[in-house]
Structure formats: structure tokens, C-alpha cells
Amino acid sequence: MTDVFWTEERIAKAEKLWSEGLSARAIADIVGSKKNTVINMAFRHRDRFPARQGPRRRGPYTPTKPTHYPDRVTRITTSGASVTMPRVPTIDGPAPIILQIATGEEIQ
């Protein structure tokens, strides 16, 4: 049988170093292991190694205005699917002219 690397003494030492704020790499150098070994051990003993950063939070959702492509046309196929296709001037007429002024407002 192989020896177990993480004995209770090493775990206690790593826990003390973790609470002092040392990085996983620094703890690995002191204990004599690799960084990922320390991270995995801390994950297995989550009750003794509290998370150092809070959960990720998204910012508030702001819906964006759909992009308008004057050279594209949405058509409904015979099967009922909605597809976007290139504008054909002989069928759809000329593309509308959209001017943008410095404020970013659209004028048609």
C-alpha cells in the first residue's frame, strides 16, 4: 500500500497557512507538493478551507435593440420558418436610407 501524502498534520499546517492568506503555490512550496494538489485537498476539505472569493454575480440585464440590417429581409417560407435573406432590389425595392447623426439617433 502507498503512503498517504496528506496526513492530518500536513492538512492542519496547510489550513493554518491558508487562513494566513498564502497562495496555493506558496503552500505547495512549504508543504512539498504541487499547486493543484493543494487546491484539490482544499476542495475535499471545504469545511476547513473557506472560499476566498465570493460567487460571481452578473450585472443587471439590459435588453439591447435588435440590429437592423438594411440589406437583409426576413421572409416566411412555405413550411412557416422565418429566414433572413439578402435583399433583392427587383423584388423588395430599394433599401431604405438610414442617416445617423452624431448623437447616435436614427433618422429614416
Distances (CA, A) of 76 to 79, 82, 87, 104, 107: 8, 5, 14, 31, 28
Residue 101 C-alpha from the chain's centroid: 35
Residue 75's beta-bridge partner residues?
Answer: 83
0.85 exceeded by the pTM?
no
CA separation for the pair 12, 6 (Å, rounded): 10
User: Residue 66 falls within a domain, yes or no?
Assistant: no
As given in the structure block, the three cell numbers for residue 106 are 436614427
Contact 4, 37 (CB under 8 A): no
User: Residue 34 falls within a domain, yes or no?
Assistant: yes
Number of domains in the chain: 1
Interhelix angle 24-31/8-20, nearest 10 degrees: 140
| Per-residue pLDDT reduced to its tens digit, 39-87 | 999 999 989 888 877 777 888 888 888 777 777 888 888 898 988 888 8
User: Residue 15 falls within a domain, yes or no?
Assistant: yes
Q: What domain range is 35 assigned to? A: 8-44
Identify the pLDDT of residue 95.
67
Tell which wins on pLDDT, 19 or 55.
Answer: 19
Identify the pLDDT of residue 101.
58
Identify the pLDDT of residue 36.
93
User: Residue 88 falls within a domain, yes or no?
Assistant: no
